[in-house]
Structure 1
Amino acid sequence: MSGSDSHPVRRRAFVLSAAAAAGTAALAGPLASPASAAGFGWSDDGSNYVVDTGASLVFKVSKTNGDLTSLVYRGTEYQGYDGKNSHIESGLGTSTVTIAQSGSTILISVTYGTLKHYYAARSGENNVYLWTNKADTSVSATRYIVRVKKGLFLNDEPDSYTYTSSTIEASDVFAKPDGQTRSKHYAKVRVLDYDHIGWSTGSVGLWIVRSNHEKASGGPFYRSLLRHQSADGGGLYEILYYGENQTEAQRFGLQGPYVIAFTDGGAPSSSLYPGTLTTSWADSLGISGYVSASGRGRVAGVGISGRNTAYPYTVGLANSAAQYWGSARASDGYFSIGGALPGTYTLTVYKGELAVYSTQVTVSAGGTTTLNTIAIPSSNDPGNASAIWRIGDWNGTPGGFKNADLMTYAHPSDVRAASWTGNVVIGSGTETSAFPCYLWKDVNSGIIVHFRLTAAQAAAAHTLRIGVTTAYANGRPQIVVNDTWTSAVPSPPTQPSTRSLTVGSYRGNNYTFTYSVPASAWLTDTSAYNQLKIYVASGSGTTSFLSAGTSIDAIDLLA
């Protein structure tokens, strides 16, 4: 098995029809008696290995390069668009491709240099199980893409560009005539938010059920493209490593299984989900890098104290070889993360997406490492600090700020976005919702926060904090108070160097900027409003929404 029993916080089926959403159609999953399926087996047509699952699915794999060249479900061909097959990255070159049957399982093995890729079929199932073992950087293998013929699944969701060809950024962000934006990047969800992605007509569903992502990078809150659809056809992705807005180094080794699943229109069976899928049937297949359930371990925590119960808490395990995560129980913080490879990990507790505690933990094969109650020091949560005023919540996200929700599935130029400019008044009751979630040097730098201080507050120096979640082109905040005191330009923290704010992702490296504002900067008239101007400093970036920018977590003036 290559899985974890750490369940996502919430499950979301990307179902695009009412019938599919109702979930009344048949599911696709492992069968109780797979060997009973009639017609199960494989053949060689000269160019491809042809596998009949004995259910309603027949698929072909090229003997030359390991491409998936055909996916026929109930007599209809679903694979392929624009003359392209389904495959790793953009396809491999000449490879060694072999096939073997072991009882009720057929395994196709593909070797291309140091890369090994596998397709498995189980008798009586409408599923294709896939594993990919990337050993090093000699082979580009950041994704598997299932290419789907045009016209079979139609949608106008955020992660499509079916009805528009007007490019507004690079070659992958588009504007519709009505001003709404579309891009394959706009999937809305983080890794922990979904088990599967795909489409349904109401009578046929085609899905990729994701793997546990133990060899991926970025952790539970990472966002990347999951699917797309255009006039030419559609694509479903399992991202093995995606360099955009990436916060971690690439991990190597076997990733999977991830599953291509057909259904009668409903969601795939939960028995295929990461955390519930068991693959003891694959233990003896000889898959390179495969580690069975017996060779894995578990970490369990009695509880977590010092939590702010208004927020969800997630516990993550990570080292250079693997990553896992699980949700902390709302009542007491209990957590359990299973299916982990043996090794020493950094255990991190997240309040929302903000790391508030870390320690080291060791996982052993076949064992459970039990931790006593983890106590989060009060000082580890910036939200516990006493503040004169605060905009937003310290939770590692721009949630609650203006346009924050929209920005996970739209471009900042989208017609649905509220104005990115506009100043804020402390005490108005709309401090957070009126403050833009993102600041750019060329768009809304210099935004003003108005606030009053009492005589005692104005007589003292104070610390101002600005928390950010990521930045583009080294954008970072510089402040001016009452046009009389200007902070130094802070050094840029380490952040991803690629696009982020315009492709649906605010997730980078959370960082807090602190500014020591002297008492001489404040107005002594308690009836007058002080003015805090926040500028974006950077010599990088280009113009407009690709100028230097940053995403805001929280802003406060400490007492």
Structure 2
Amino acid sequence: MSGSANRPVRRRTFVLGAAAAAGTAALSGTASAAAFGWSDDGSNYVVDTGANLVFKVSKTNGDLTSLVYRGTEYQGYGGKNSHIESGLGTSTVSIRQSGSTILISVAYGTLRHYYAARSGENNIYLWTNRADTSVASTRFILRVKAGLFLNDEPDSYTYAPTAIEASDVFAKSDGQTRSKHYSKLRVSDYDYVGWSAGGVGLWIVRSNHEKASGGPFYRSLLRHQSADGGGLYEILHYAQNQTENERFGLQGPYVIALTDGGAPSSSLFPGTLTTSWADSLGISGYVPASGRGRVAGVGITGRNTAYPYTVGLANSAAQYWGSARSSDGYFSVTGILPGTYTLTVFKSELAVYTTSVTVTAGGTTTLNSIAIPSTNDPSGASAIWRINDWTGTPSGFKNADLMTYAHPSDVRAAAWTGNVVIGSGSETSAFPCYLWKGVNSGLLVYFRLTAAQAAAAHTLRIGVTTAYANGRPQVVVNDTWTSAIPSPPTQPSTRSLTNGSYRGNNHTFTYSVPASAWRTDTSQYNVLKINVVSGSGSTGYLSAGTAIDAIDLLA
């Protein structure tokens, strides 16, 4: 939505008696918005967008204390406001109007936070600049009053279920599980998150996440809801199952958008949102479009066209990504801060090519056709048998899809135990996506070899996407040969398998199995036992575990 024709007016409230009471009622949500402008009620700066939105920001700590849309208050639950992290404390808060834009600036130590309103829009634009670790700032949470958007989605726990893990994973009476972690979505899968009910949509449109961490496939909590109220998040840095160091600097804009029930305008989405109107506002760390560059590739060869390909750019200061065109692999990533980046091509979520690129302000770095060497994709290796394809994900394995929005104990999960027979046609769907030391360690895979195959040594590969408590596979073949215990690869140290995420650091374990381990009778099955080993972890689903990408025995 563009600015309205209303003439910008700066409004201040200095009325007495009954008139004062009426003015207070209007700001608290009993009347609709009027002309674009702002006022000071003594405790808050009050901004009227001139559309249907009035919001307040505390002059003391920069909290968002009120969010009134079409006369209804949406902000707050449990006596808490909406804010950065759990609230900043005493801050320096200022406001100024520049034409059709009002900007509220919040300074707390080295942190700077901003709210901007545009005339005639039902949106609030937010930026957050965290310069260092001296200030905790991992999220902005929009707290929403109870009862306005009730639902029973995976990331809700409205129906007072029972806590089953760490006080943030719950089980309902019917055995289904709920948690704020169960969003289903990777960062690259969504542009906005929120709810719609009763002809009103309340959304947070995410930023481009250039100062976040974890890349395009990272998963973090996006919203929650209980009988007490709901929360919508813009995660500035999330440590849960994190694979990268924290980045610092200005993140945003992200947008609180209110609608008449529909989705927010695509003009607000990361990649399409333009904010030239903010170029001269003096936002700390702000870099306009003219100070950014672009990377474009004419194509990518050597792709497996059965899978999507993503091109990511990352360095210690920023991250970006874009999709490669399915027909030829063309890609274009825009809005990049100047610098030198590692460019990575992902087949699904598996890195299959890397190079270095340098981006300049106002320039386009054009890359000739990228050729992915066949040796870079493990799926290209000749195999006697293979369970699943190599994609950097457990997709296709038993329970894999469910685990992005449910706990492993969920009643909808198929049994985590059960053995696998090569040649059955159900090898992948029968193999569990996760293995735990305390749940299903010792899983058996049955397979036959020809006489020629049994006469030679072979390499066994097991690909994993993450691990909990250093869980890793040790293998036994026919109870006659046992592999060494492999060293644990670098993986996140937090929970992962039980809170909706399989994304860690992809790693391939290789085992050189001697010919003496195989059975020479070709009518007999060879038996591969996969154990999960680790000296860490707890019990059950919090015992040491790992997520599986693919398993194969090379020819």
TM over 0.5: yes
In structure 2, distance between residues paired with 1:193 and 1:175: 26
In structure 2, distance between residues paired with 1:438 and 1:202: 41
Please, which of 441, 446, 455 is the counterpart of residue 442 of structure 2?
446
Q: Which residue of structure 1 lines up, in the alignment, with residue 424 of structure 2? A: 428
| Aligned residue identity for 2:180 | K
Q: Which residue of structure 1 lines up, in the alignment, with residue 191 of structure 2? A: 195
Q: Which residue of structure 2 lines up, in the alignment, with residue 370 of structure 1? A: 366
Q: Is the 8 A contact 1:150 1:233 kept in 2?
A: yes
Deviation at 1:404, TM superposition (A): 0.1
Q: Is the 8 A contact 1:34 1:122 kept in 2?
A: no
Divergent runs of 4+, >3 A: 29-38
2:112 maps to 1:116? yes
Q: Is the 8 A contact 2:140 2:236 kept in 1?
A: yes
Q: Is the 8 A contact 1:204 1:263 kept in 2?
A: yes
Which string of whole-angstrom CA distances, capped at 9 and with x for unpartnered residues, describes residues 222-275 of structure 1?
000000000100000000000000000000000000000000000000000000
Q: 1:33 to 1:375 in 2, by over 3 A?
A: farther
Q: Is the 8 A contact 2:8 2:37 kept in 1?
A: no
Please, which of 131, 136, 140 is the counterpart of residue 144 of structure 1?
140
2:379 maps to 1:396? no
Please, which of 257, 267, 287 is the counterpart of residue 263 of structure 2?
267
Please, which of 277, 280, 284 is the counterpart of residue 281 of structure 1?
277
Q: Which residue of structure 1 lines up, in the alignment, with residue 12 of structure 2? A: none
In structure 1, distance between residues paired with 2:281 and 2:43: 24
| Aligned residue identity for 2:387 | I
In structure 2, distance between residues paired with 1:310 and 1:35: 55
Deviation at 1:31, TM superposition (A): 4.4
Count of matched residue pairs: 531
Q: Which residue of structure 2 lines up, in the alignment, with residue 133 of structure 1? A: 129
In structure 2, distance between residues paired with 1:75 and 1:157: 27
Q: Which residue of structure 2 lines up, in the alignment, with residue 301 of structure 1? A: 297
- Give the number of the structure with larger relative contact order, counting CA–CA contacts within 8 Å between residues 6 or more apart: 1
Please, which of 466, 470, 473 is the counterpart of residue 474 of structure 1?
470
Deviation at 1:512, TM superposition (A): 0.2
TM-score normalised by structure 1 residue count: 0.94
Q: 1:108 to 1:452 in 2, by over 3 A?
A: same
| Aligned residue identity for 1:462 | H
Which string of whole-angstrom CA distances, capped at 9 and with x for unpartnered residues, describes residues 465-498 of structure 1?
0000000000000000000000000000000000
Q: Which residue of structure 1 lines up, in the alignment, with residue 415 of structure 2? A: 419
Which string of whole-angstrom CA distances, capped at 9 and with x for unpartnered residues, describes residues 379-436 of structure 1?
0000000000000110000000000000000000000000000000000000000000
Q: Which residue of structure 2 lines up, in the alignment, with residue 326 of structure 1? A: 322
Q: Is the 8 A contact 1:35 1:124 kept in 2?
A: no
Equivalent residues in 2 for 1:345-356, closer than 5 Å: 345-356=341-352
Identity between Structure 1 and Structure 2 (%): 85
Please, which of 433, 440, 443 is the counterpart of residue 437 of structure 1?
433
Please, which of 458, 463, 469 is the counterpart of residue 459 of structure 2?
463
Deviation at 1:52, TM superposition (A): 0.2
Please, which of 35, 38, 47 is the counterpart of residue 51 of structure 1?
47
In structure 2, distance between residues paired with 1:130 and 1:195: 15
Indicate the SS of the match to 2:129: strand
Indicate the SS of the match to 2:157: coil
| Aligned residue identity for 1:321 | A
Deviation at 1:33, TM superposition (A): 5.7
Q: Is the 8 A contact 2:139 2:235 kept in 1?
A: yes
Q: Is the 8 A contact 1:164 1:177 kept in 2?
A: no
Indicate the SS of the match to 2:188: helix
Deviation at 1:30, TM superposition (A): 3.9
| Aligned residue identity for 1:338 | T
In structure 1, distance between residues paired with 2:198 and 2:307: 36
2:84 maps to 1:88? yes
Deviation at 1:35, TM superposition (A): 5.8
| Aligned residue identity for 1:175 | A
Q: Which residue of structure 1 lines up, in the alignment, with residue 19 of structure 2? A: none
Q: 1:180 to 1:149 in 2, by over 3 A?
A: same
Q: Which residue of structure 2 lines up, in the alignment, with residue 16 of structure 1? A: none
In structure 1, distance between residues paired with 2:484 and 2:368: 44
| Aligned residue identity for 1:401 | F
Deviation at 1:165, TM superposition (A): 3.3
Structure 2 unaligned runs (5+)? Answer: 10-33
Q: Which residue of structure 1 lines up, in the alignment, with residue 494 of structure 2? A: 498
Which string of whole-angstrom CA distances, capped at 9 and with x for unpartnered residues, describes residues 84-124 of structure 1?
00000000010000000000000000000000000000000
Q: Is the 8 A contact 1:458 1:524 kept in 2?
A: yes
Q: For the pair shown, which has the larger CA radius of gyration, 1 or 2?
A: 2
In structure 2, distance between residues paired with 1:231 and 1:433: 37
Deviation at 1:202, TM superposition (A): 4.5
Deviation at 1:164, TM superposition (A): 2.4
Equivalent residues in 2 for 1:178-189, closer than 5 Å: 178-189=174-185
Deviation at 1:551, TM superposition (A): 0.1
2:97 maps to 1:101? yes
In structure 1, distance between residues paired with 2:459 and 2:143: 53
In structure 1, distance between residues paired with 2:4 and 2:107: 32
Indicate the SS of the match to 1:369: strand
2:318 maps to 1:317? no
Indicate the SS of the match to 1:469: strand
In structure 1, distance between residues paired with 2:78 and 2:167: 17
Q: Which residue of structure 1 lines up, in the alignment, with residue 167 of structure 2? A: 171
Q: Is the 8 A contact 2:51 2:122 kept in 1?
A: yes
| Aligned residue identity for 1:194 | Y
| Aligned residue identity for 2:156 | S
Q: Which residue of structure 2 lines up, in the alignment, with residue 338 of structure 1? A: 334
In structure 2, distance between residues paired with 1:380 and 1:207: 41
Which string of whole-angstrom CA distances, capped at 9 and with x for unpartnered residues, describes residues 272-317 of structure 1?
0000000000000000000000000000000000101110000000
RMSD: 1.0
Q: Is the 8 A contact 1:406 1:417 kept in 2?
A: yes
